[in-house]
Amino acid sequence: MGSDVEFSNVKGTRDILPEDALVWRRIEEVIRKKMREYNYQELQMPTFEYTELFRKSTGKDTDVFQKEMYTFKDKGGRSLALKPEGTPSVVRMYLQHGMKSRGVFQKFYYIERMFRQEKPQKGRLREFRSFGAEAIGSKSALTDAELIKSALDIMDELGIKGIEVKINSIGCQKCRKEFMKEFKKFLQQKLDSLCEDCQRRFTTNPMRIMDCKVDKRKLIDAPVPLDYLCDDCRRHFSELEKHLDYLEIDYKVDTFLARGLDYYTRTVFEFIHSELGAQDAVGGGGRYDGLIKFLGGKDAPASGYAMGMDRMLLLMPKVKEYREIDIYIVTLDVKSDIIGWELLYKLRENGFSADKDCLGRSPKAQFREADRQNATWTIIIGGEERKKGVVQLKRMKTGKQKEVPLDIEAIKREIKC
């Protein structure tokens, strides 16, 4: 790096240069377009919340809350946290603004930046972008299926191929209790053979042991939540499968799929892609029927997901995004320069993207600039044109140029045909 670089971006953050910004804009446009088709409404949330919100909803025993959050005290001594995920804020907004009165069933989406203090690696940043969709008020498996479908639609439209959908059900509070009893019993026998992390999790968050990669083989005959589902949960899960089949979505039931956040109930799902390396989940989500009541609202079922946009970017086919402007004005002397500036602003008022040299560069340099900017047209003004009250209008692709009166309407006419 050059020695004139005194500062660099903070670890785990990403600078987005103009060429990258074009791709990001496209991703956002596709999300907005699809979410409109699915009738989800946009929500924009604050960058930080009271730490307590995440302690309660994300869960105090989760890694996200314990190890990864950026928390700080403000001058009033309040403990605040940069949001590590979107769902808690969505639910908070839903409750705080009495959004229930807008209807029993509502669908939202957001495109936001999230923050987690982890060691960066492929597909894992400290500031990352995610979009998410949340549907509040429906306990139907139809809603879960629609959510999954919407995410797949978006990725499809962005040209992302090879997404694998994994689903599972971890039951409701009631049947999960049953499962946990048996699961713990099973683990108790093998406790000594489990990895260090799992031994710790055994007391803090036993559910997480289910997708431990180290000891997968040891769990091969472990009880799974699916076998302990109550009748309602079982019916719900088979309905989900039915709806997914109907939508022709390819999925795999992964009986060990568990998610790292506390609020999930019943349906959980993940979108996996093998090219992502260790962070192979492009996104994931599930049902969180208990969360709204838990946060002080009236009992309401809900379901949602979050997608890692940075990971989506990694999976998108690399296409060059070209920038181009309509018109670049080239002037050949000082007097023409003044006419050029006047014309430039007229062109812009008329909706053209247009630019002009302001460094007093040579004609050759101005043309080179026009070329670099991918200008469709150049307008050339010099002494001769000035005398005749005309400009030269040159089509860069063909190199052909034509004399046109110095008049915005005349220029517009010429450009249109």
Partner RNA sequence: GUGAAUGUAGCUCAAUCGGUAAGAGCGCUGGACUGUGGCUCCAGAGGUUGGGGGUUCAAUUCCCCUCAUUCACCCCA
| Footprint of RNA on 294-313 (CB under 7 A) | 306-308, 310-311
Count Cβ atoms below 10 Å from residue 215 Cβ, excluding itself.
Answer: 16
Minimal distance, residue 76 CB to RNA, in Å = 27
Minimal distance, residue 350 CB to RNA, in Å = 23
Which range of residues in 48-56, 181-189, 228-236, 274-282 is near RNA by CB under 7 A?
274-282
Helix runs in 85-195, H state only = 87-96, 141-157, 173-190
Which range of residues in 46-54, 97-105, 253-261, 289-297 is near RNA by CB under 7 A?
253-261
Name which of 63 and 134 has its Cβ closer to RNA.
63
Task: Please pick, from the candidates 260, 337, 353, 410, the single residue that binds RNA as defined by CB under 7 A.
Answer: 260
Task: Please pick, from the candidates 239, 280, 337, 414, the single residue that binds RNA as defined by CB under 7 A.
Answer: 280
Asked if 18 touches RNA (CB under 7 A), the answer is no
Task: Please pick, from the candidates 162, 296, 383, 389, the single residue that binds RNA as defined by CB under 7 A.
Answer: 383
Which range of residues in 70-78, 164-172, 237-245, 360-368 is near RNA by CB under 7 A?
360-368
Count Cβ atoms below 10 Å from residue 10 Cβ, excluding itself.
Answer: 8
Helix runs in 191-247, H state only = 196-204, 231-246
| Alpha carbon distances (Å) from 359 to 35, 39, 336, 372, 391 | 45, 49, 14, 16, 21
Name which of 118 and 326 has its Cβ closer to RNA.
118
Backbone region of residue 71 per phi and psi (left: phi > 0; alpha: psi in -120 to 50; beta: other values): beta
In angstroms, rounded to a whole number, what is the distance separating the alpha carbons of residues 363 and 81? 55
Minimal distance, residue 8 CB to RNA, in Å = 7
Asked if 250 touches RNA (CB under 7 A), the answer is no
For strands 354-356 and 127-136, give the pairing.
unpaired
Task: Please pick, from the candidates 22, 23, 100, 120, the single residue that binds RNA as defined by CB under 7 A.
Answer: 120
Name which of 21 and 104 has its Cβ closer to RNA.
21
Residues in 206-235 that interact with RNA by CB under 7 A? 208, 211-214
CA 45 to chain centre: 14
Residues in 45-64 that interact with RNA by CB under 7 A? 62-64
Contact yes or no for 274/177 (Cβ under 8 A): no
Asked if 367 touches RNA (CB under 7 A), the answer is yes
Task: Please pick, from the candidates 201, 266, 287, 356, the single residue that binds RNA as defined by CB under 7 A.
Answer: 201
Name which of 95 and 206 has its Cβ closer to RNA.
206
Asked if 247 touches RNA (CB under 7 A), the answer is no
Residues in 132-151 that interact with RNA by CB under 7 A? none
Asked if 1 touches RNA (CB under 7 A), the answer is yes
Name which of 94 and 377 has its Cβ closer to RNA.
377
Asked if 124 touches RNA (CB under 7 A), the answer is yes
Count Cβ atoms below 10 Å from residue 259 Cβ, excluding itself.
Answer: 21
For strands 327-331 and 302-308, give the pairing.
unpaired
Asked if 197 touches RNA (CB under 7 A), the answer is yes
In angstroms, rounded to a whole number, what is the distance separating the alpha carbons of residues 172 and 299? 14
Asked if 71 touches RNA (CB under 7 A), the answer is no
Residues in 320-359 that interact with RNA by CB under 7 A? 332
Report the C-alpha dihedral over residues 200, 206, 212, 217, rounded to 10 degrees. Answer: 110
Query: What pairs with residue 114 in β-bridges?
Result: 128
* DSSP character string of 275-292: GGTT--EEEEEEE-TTHH
Asked if 368 touches RNA (CB under 7 A), the answer is yes
Name which of 9 and 44 has its Cβ closer to RNA.
9
Contact yes or no for 95/106 (Cβ under 8 A): no
Asked if 121 touches RNA (CB under 7 A), the answer is yes
Asked if 11 touches RNA (CB under 7 A), the answer is yes
Asked if 85 touches RNA (CB under 7 A), the answer is yes
Contact yes or no for 267/167 (Cβ under 8 A): yes
Name which of 11 and 181 has its Cβ closer to RNA.
11
Query: What pairs with residue 165 in β-bridges?
Result: 251, 271
Name which of 224 and 396 has its Cβ closer to RNA.
396
Taking Cα atoms as reference points, which of 104, 123, 135, 73 lies closest to residue 305?
Answer: 135
In angstroms, rounded to a whole number, what is the distance separating the alpha carbons of residues 282 and 272? 6
Contact yes or no for 191/248 (Cβ under 8 A): no
Helix axes 334-349, 408-416, angle to 10 degrees: 70
Pattern 157-196, RNA, x by CB under 7 A: ----------------------------------------
